Copies of this chain bind each other. A is one copy, B any other.
Amino acid sequence: MSNTSHIFSLNAQLRNDANVLGSFPLCKLLIIKDAQYPWFVLVPGRANVTEIVQLSPSDRTQLLEESCQLQESLLAAYQPDKLNVAALGNMVSQLHLHHIARFRDDAAWPAPVWGKHPAVPYTDAQLADRLEALRPHLPETFVWGKQDE
């Protein structure tokens, strides 16, 4: 798919670094393949957008709603000491919003997680446990499964 397409396509680097879990009405939900932190990413399904402010006003509001729903889900599922919510995009310019549940005894605390330690792959059992903890807390508007991207 060319870079100038108006059809959304998940960035290849994100596809490599994360597993697609499913979709909110606007955003795909991904989990980063790093067992050190409960680290999730929202990717609005809009082509050629790199900054939050480039979204339409209604899409901005929907992104905020989905981010807050995910924040509530992460707080309930993992009971972290802090959430880190960030749109950086220096490496992958496709707009994506990190949501990381942070703990005072995690590998990077109190530093941000990016570039701090190499990713530690999940075992199948670890990943299943991580997702089972989250599953009951996601809203009904979230649909599990890797739909057509």
Q: Which residues of A contact B (CB under 8 A)?
A: 50-53, 60-61, 64, 67-68, 71-72, 75, 82-91, 93, 102, 109-112, 114-115
Contact = CB atoms under 8 A, between A and B. Distances in A.
B111 A90 contact: yes
Given A82-B90, A84-B90, A86-B85, A112 B114 contact: yes
Contacts of A72: 53
Contacts of A53: 68, 71-72, 75, 83
Contacts of A64: 60-61, 64
A90 B85 CA distance: 11
This chain: how many copies in the complex?
2
B86 A87 contact: yes
Nearest to A93: B82
Contacts of A90: 82, 84, 102, 109-112
Contacts of A52: 67-68, 71, 83, 85
A30 B139 CA distance: 35
Contacts of A83: 51-53, 87, 89
Contacts of A85: 52, 86-87
A56 to B, nearest CB: 11
A105 to B, nearest CB: 12
Contacts of A75: 51, 53
Contacts of A102: 90
A72 B55 CA distance: 12
